[in-house]
Amino acid sequence: MALSIYSVVFAACVVFVLNVVIKTQLQRRKMPPGPPGIPLLGNALQLPSAFPWLKFTEWSKQYGPIYSLNLAGTPVVILNTFKTAADLMDRRSNIYSDRPRLIMASEILTGGIFMIFTKYGDVWRKMRRASHEEFSIRGCEKFQGQQHEEAALSVLDILETPDEWQDCLKRSTASNILTAVYGRERLTPKDKPLITRIHAHTARIAGAVVPGAYLVEIFPFMKHFPTWMAKWKKDGLDWYKRETDMFEKLCDDIDTQKHSFVRGLKENQARHGLTKPEAAWLAGIMFSAGAETTLGTLFNFVLAMTLYPNVMKRAQAEIDSVVGRDRLPNFDDKPRLPYIRAMVKESLRWRPVGPVAVPRRTTEARDDYYNGYLIPKGTTVIPNIWRVFFPMSAPWAMNHDPELYPDFEEFRPDRFLDESGQKDNVPPDTHEMGHGTFGFGRRICVGYNFANQVLFIQMAMMLWAFNFEAPLDDSGQPIVPDRSATIDAGVVVLPAPFKTKITPRSPDVPSTIRQELEHLGAL
Q: Residue 156, Cβ neighbours under 10 Å: how many?
A: 16
262 closest CA partner among 457, 447, 130, 375 = 130
3-state helix, strand, coil in the chain (%, to 5): 55, 10, 35
Q: Number of helices (H) and strands (E) in the chain: give both, helices first.
A: 15, 10
Burial (Cβ within 10 Å: 0-12, 13-18, ≥19) of residue 234: middle
Three-class SS of 364-405: CCCCEEECCEEECCCCEEEEECCCCCCCCCCCCCHHHCCCCC
Residue type at position 39: P
Calpha distance 451→445 (Å, rounded):
10
Mapped onto helix, strand or coil, the DSSP state of residue 333 is: helix
**Are 260 and 182 a contacting pair, CB within 8 Å?**
yes
The answer to the question of whether 445 is labelled as a binding residue is yes
Residue type at position 485: A
Non-local (6+) Cβ contacts of 184 within 8 A are 178, 254, 255
**Are 93 and 441 a contacting pair, CB within 8 Å?**
yes
Q: Summarize the annotated binding site for heme as residue ranges.
A: 445
Q: Summarize the annotated binding site as residue ranges.
A: 445
